[in-house]
Amino acid sequence: MRTNNSDALDTYVWEGVNRNGIKIRGETQASSANMLRATLRKQGINTKKVNKKPKPLFTPKIKPADIAHFARQMTTMMRSGVPMVQSLHMVAGGGDNAAMQSLIKKIADSIEGGSSFGSALEQHPKYFDKLFVSLVKAGEQA
């Protein structure tokens, strides 16, 4: 039960019984516990417990190694002929660091809004220093 607007959804952990009387459990994204219960009911599952899964207290930090890995992945994608925005979405979808995924999505949004790759990176000086941005911009000019 996933939608494209997963930012507005919470994750719920649930337990229930199916039509055959077998206990089952799962983890599903939904806009509310009531919506999840209704969806599961339509699937023939009688819910016994539904609890919102707590969000982690600390978001993983973006480390220099994450930026280096991102640069290598983007280089590989671009050399393979994959379009820039598509490459960014693929790289973001393949990672498990939520902070890095969010950063890559912001970069993709900037490019979709008309910015160059270098300009999009430049908007995040905490992660991309002037040398890195200058090298990317020089590559864009070549």
3-13 pLDDT tens trace: 344 446 788 89
Residue 94 CA to residue 81 CA, distance in Å, equals 18
Q: What is the DSSP letter of 113?
A: T
pTM higher than the cut 0.95:
no
Those residues with Cβ within 8 angstroms of residue 139's Cβ, 6 or more apart along the chain or in another chain: none
- Which CATH class for the 64-141 domain? mainly alpha
Q: Tell me how many degrees the CA angle 138-67-78 measures, rounded to the nearest 5.
A: 50
Radius of gyration of the chain (CA): 20
| pLDDT tens sequence across 40-68 | 999 999 999 999 988 777 777 899 999 99
Q: Where are the domains of the chain?
A: 6-52, 64-141
Non-local (6+) Cβ contacts of 66 within 8 A are 97, 100
